A and B are shown apart, each in its own frame.
Chain A
Amino acid sequence: MIRRVLGSSRIDPIVLACALGLSMLGVLFIGSATIGTKFEGLAGRQATFIAIGLVAMTAAILFDYRMLLKFSFPIYCACLLPLVYLLVFGQSIANVRSWIRFGKFQFQPAELAKIATALLLAYMFENEDDTGLRPATLVRLGAIVGVPVLLVFLQPDMGLALTFLPLVFVGLFFGGLPAKGWIAIFLAVAVLAGGGWFVLKDYQKARIGTFLNPDSDVLGSGYQVRQSKIAVGSGGFSGKGFRSGTQSQLRFLPVQHTDFILAVIAEEWGFLGVILVLGLFATLILRALKLAQTARDRGGMFLVLGLTAMMFFSVVVNASMMIGVMPTTGIPLPLVSYGGSSVATTLLGIGLILGVQYRRFANA
């Protein structure tokens, strides 16, 4: 059956190749970043998670996404339950309650909640016929995304909470928020942020900063960004060579196999390596958006858009924080950074995108 699926060319090979390429790059550089440390062996674990992710991906392709959309609300509720459970009973790991343990394994339920939220969002817009966005839809959109964001935010994992926000944007933009609406949102954000900045005192700002991200100053976030910039910049055009990055091999980089994996690639493979990674993501995302255009229904379109937007957001934020353009927020690079839940669910998401494309013809 797999041969039929691939052989008949109904599965988009470009998205699949990009996803597999990025995953393999990840395994390669997790190996480079962890060799000789207590994290050695994580590359193998990552490969295992990729395998699990590929199984999930295949299942997602073969399973009719329209069924998932139909049951998206129960799925959504089922995925939010562990988040509630975590807040009540969760054990803190590094001051954050975002992991559920299954014996040897840990799982981050928020990653799955992202997929569930995207599904529910798609189901909601499946049933929206208007070209414009109705106020009731707006409220529901806020609720659908708001609940998991709040739950994750309370863990507290601000980075992960932020990765839900692209779904709001998808709803607003593709749902057809009129120009007046955008102006209103822009003004509201400007007034809130700007006003808050002037009203709050310095120590209050600092306090809010610490509250939002208590881990940011363990090593000093300034130190992290500085070391990461040095790693990226010192890579130059073609890099210092695989496993030869001084910044990474001498552990100047913080959590280099997870959030800062791109800095390792940038140091060891230089600008060429960065272009390779960004190029693969660009191809993947642009291709996925193209596929969204060919989806057979609005639900499929919004599902692809939601999943792609979340990935795009993570890529941009993560790549920007390597070079100090954005603050460090603990958002990993999709597919590449070490993290079982993240890589497996991202592959599951790509499976859903491919599934939408697989069933693009009404007679399928």
Chain B
Amino acid sequence: MLRTREDRRALVRRIEISRVAVGAILSMLAVAYWITQIVRGEYFFNLSENNRIRAVKITAPRGYVLDRNGTTLVENEPAYTLHLYRRESKNLDESVRFIVALLDLNADVVKSRVDRGRRGPEYVPIPIAENLSIEEVSAVEARAAEHPEFAITVSQRRQYINGGSAAHALGYLSEATPEQIKASNNAYGVGDWIGQKGVEGAYERLLAGVNGERRVIVDSHGREVNEANRLEASPGQNLFLTLDSKLQQIAEDYFKERVGAVVALDAKTGEILALVSSPTYDPNWFTRRVTSAEWNELLENPDKPLQNRAIQNMYSPGSVFKVFIAYGALSMGLVDPDMKIFCPGHAEFYGRDFHCHKKGGHGLVNLRDAIKESCDVYFYNLGKKLGIDRIAEIASSFGFGKPTGVDLAFEKIGLVPSEDWALKRRKARWYPSETISVSIGQGPLLVTPMQVARGLAGLVEGGRLPTPHLFYASQAPGTNAPLRYTAESSSTMPITPEQLKIVLNGMWAVVNEAGGTAYGSRVPGFEMGGKTGTAQVIGKGVTVKAGVDKSKLLDNAWFAGFGPVADPQMVVVVFVENGGHGNLAAAPLAKLLFEARFVTPKTPTTGVQAMVTGEPAPAAGLRTVSTARLSAMAASPSRRLAAAERDAQLSAATRGGP
């Protein structure tokens, strides 16, 4: 036990060294804390603020879509989604078994969803089932005490009341694509709904409104502890369309078994009164999470239901085009309307024989009768006289080969051939014989039904070419009068009233004079004018491959009508794919539409029409309806809030336990 003084002194010295080292190390630690807390303190303070405050989006209720009379076409309905909160579950397998039995769900689907959700952070709830019925919701709510891990969230789902009706005009909602997210400067995020096509797409900003934001204080589980502040969402505006549900319904009924398109326009304003593309699809599919089978059915349908045939498909206009040729030739002073041409049933041009649709020939016909009877030989001669470049000039002035400016996306512009076009695009000279085909609306000339309707409106109005549109008025929530929208119009070639009368008279005769091509579709007590068209799908003499569906080779049927002839109010273009003759397949629908609009007793103007035209609104007008609906929409976020409060209470209860 005895030790030397030397030893003790050495030890004491080492301890002295260690005390200096301890002091130095602890001082260095203090400096490190100084750097963290004082030098970088503000940086970390901001981080801690972001840590605890999280922004939660309040989705703005989307505006409704209504027709011109205030009939609701698209609304929102509450959609219930079932979520599983893992942190509340004592035994996940047991929870899954319970919910599968309670709601009669597919056990494998639920299990795979839970397994997928398990990979994420614990605080993120796992979606178990969407679109629960009220009965299912109450079944889950009733067992909330024993199974707090299951919670229902309410969101708004777009509801297209009449299913596939006017689907191509309305469009649909789908989750924003990565491209759309990028284009929106991240205003949209993954999983956000965005309008696609139709007015849902075109007026997305108006309908969507502006989302609000709740800034909530959360704990590290993402559990809401408190709300710091909130910025209310401003709901989207209600959108009134120019559509008239009555006309739309008639047109859709007519097209139940047919393929094609209908466009009915207000001749003066370009308002689209009816817009049909057949076959149609149900936009509700997209908001109900389409199954892949449904998707494939939609995509593989040879009739392509998603295509809007009124603006996206291009066809030969056939004889409907003759009225534009007639108008243009008169305007240019290149035709004497009284001059008669002899039609023997066929004629030879540039060494080729061209047939008239009437085998025996029309005999001597002037311009008016050539329109009435749709004499091909007359227009062959007129077209030859005009030449392809003048025909192109006429077509362009009526808006063919150009966008109509309709407020729908993905519009096709068609094709107006000219000598220049042939050289540039075909790298070959224009064959003069092709001009003969184009003069009766065949050949390379391609148009959309919308272009025909707009052109016809321009024609019957003596050169005022309107812009077709679906936007009638918009109404911001809480305001009374909707804001009316008017579209601009442009001019076609000038024409004298006398000359115009000749063309209109020919079109009157088409329907109302014996021998007119649409005499069978005359409207009793109403003067409808129009022009039929029967366009070949394939050129004559082309050998048809075996196995091709013969029905797909039938002619396309057109009818372009207007009325009343004395003061044109509405133009209607009916196009039936492979419908055969225009007078038989297409004209009857035009008759129905004019009858419905002008002959059957008119219902008094109510609702939005009265409001936008300045007439005093009836007591039970649109205003009361929409405000009631708006308050219903506004009520939904608070419902969601109630669910959140319940959640907070639940977690408080968990905390209170041992």
Residues of A within 8 A of B (CB): 36-38, 126, 129-131, 173-174, 176, 227, 229-237, 246-247, 250-253, 266-267, 270-271, 274-275, 278, 281-282, 285-286, 289-290, 292-293, 297-298, 301, 305, 312, 315-316, 319-320, 323, 325
Contact = CB atoms under 8 A, between A and B. Distances in A.
Given A233-B45, A282-B23, A316-B29, A250 B18 contact: no
A251 B10 contact: no
Interface of B: 1, 3-4, 6-7, 10-12, 14-16, 18-19, 22-23, 25-26, 29-30, 32-34, 36-38, 40-45, 47-49, 51-52, 217-221, 225, 655, 657-658
A272 B40 CA distance: 16
A126 B1 CA distance: 7
Contacts of B51: 227, 230, 246-247, 250, 252
Q: What 7 pairs between A and B have smallest CB-CB spacing?
A: A233-B44, A234-B48, A236-B41, A234-B45, A252-B220, A250-B219, A271-B37
Give the interface SS of chain A, mostly helix, strand, loop or mixed: helix
Contact of A271 (B4, B6, B14, B34): B34
Contacts of B32: 320, 323, 325
Most chain-B CB neighbours within 10 Å: which of A130, A131, A266, A267?
A131
A237 B221 contact: no
B41 A174 contact: no
A111 B514 CA distance: 113
Contacts of B30: 274-275, 278
B655 A236 contact: no
B15 to A, nearest CB: 5
Contacts of A233: 36-37, 40-41, 43-45, 47-48
Given A278-B33, A323-B36, 6 more contacts: A36-B655, A233-B40, A234-B45, A297-B3, A298-B7, A316-B26
Contact of B48 (A126, A230, A282): A230
Contacts of B18: 173-174, 289, 305
Contact of A236 (B23, B29, B37): B37
B38 A271 contact: yes
A293 B15 contact: yes
Contact of B7 (A131, A235, A250): A131
Contact of B22 (A131, A232, A286): A286
A225 to B, nearest CB: 12
Given A230-B47, A246-B48, A293-B12, A251 B33 contact: no
A274 B7 contact: no
B37 A237 contact: yes
Nearest to B652: A36
Contacts of A126: 1
A297 B1 contact: yes
A131 B655 contact: no
A129 B7 contact: yes
B655 A37 contact: yes
A236 B45 contact: yes
A305 B22 CA distance: 12
29 contacts: A38-B655, A38-B658, A176-B10, A227-B220, A234-B44, A234-B47, A234-B48, A236-B37, A236-B38, A246-B49, A250-B51, A250-B217, A250-B219, A251-B219, A266-B33, A274-B37, A275-B33, A278-B29, A278-B30, A282-B23, A289-B19, A292-B15, A297-B3, A298-B7, A298-B11, A305-B15, A305-B18, A316-B25, A319-B33
B29 A229 contact: no
A274 B22 contact: no
A305 to B, nearest CB: 7
Contacts of B45: 233-234, 236
A138 B564 CA distance: 116
A210 B49 CA distance: 33
B19 A286 contact: yes
Nearest to A324: B36
Contacts of B40: 233
A14 to B, nearest CB: 14
Nearest to B43: A233
A297 to B, nearest CB: 7
A29 B234 CA distance: 45
Contacts of A38: 655, 657-658
B41 A234 contact: yes
B41 A281 contact: no
Contact of A323 (B4, B33, B47, B217): B33
Nearest to B10: A131
A301 B11 CA distance: 9
A319 B218 contact: no
Contact of A274 (B23, B33, B225): B33
B220 A251 contact: yes
A320 B49 CA distance: 24
B219 to A, nearest CB: 4
Nearest to A226: B47
Nearest to B226: A250
A298 B44 CA distance: 48
Contacts of A252: 48, 51-52, 219-220
Given A246-B48, A289-B19, A290-B19, A232 B33 contact: yes
Given A234-B47, A236-B45, A250 B225 contact: yes
Given A229-B36, A246-B52, A316-B29, A286 B23 contact: yes
Contacts of B29: 278, 316, 319-320
A266 B44 CA distance: 12
Contact of A235 (B16, B41, B49, B52): B41
A325 B26 CA distance: 13
A281 B42 CA distance: 28
A251 B221 contact: yes
Nearest to A253: B220
A271 B29 CA distance: 12
A251 B217 CA distance: 12
A271 B11 CA distance: 36
A236 B41 CA distance: 5
A285 B22 contact: yes
B14 A282 contact: no
A42 B11 CA distance: 42
Contacts of B25: 316
Contact of A237 (B6, B26, B38, B655): B38
Given A250-B225, A278-B29, A289 B37 contact: no
Contacts of B4: 129
B40 to A, nearest CB: 5
A290 B218 CA distance: 49
Nearest to B655: A36
A285 B19 CA distance: 8
A212 B30 CA distance: 29
Contacts of B41: 233-237
A319 B31 CA distance: 12
B634 to A, nearest CB: 31
Contacts of B22: 282, 285-286, 289, 312
B48 A247 contact: yes
Most chain-B CB neighbours within 10 Å: which of A129, A250, A251, A312?
A250
A312 B23 CA distance: 11
A282 B26 contact: yes
Most chain-A CB neighbours within 10 Å: which of B34, B44, B48?
B48
A229 B7 contact: no
B36 A250 contact: no
Contacts of A274: 30, 33, 37
B626 to A, nearest CB: 43
Contact of B218 (A250, A275, A285, A289): A250
Contacts of A247: 48, 51-52
Contacts of B219: 250-252
A352 B49 CA distance: 46
Nearest to A245: B48
B21 to A, nearest CB: 10
A249 B75 CA distance: 44
A36 B656 CA distance: 8
Contacts of A286: 19, 22-23
A276 to B, nearest CB: 11
Contacts of B38: 236-237, 271
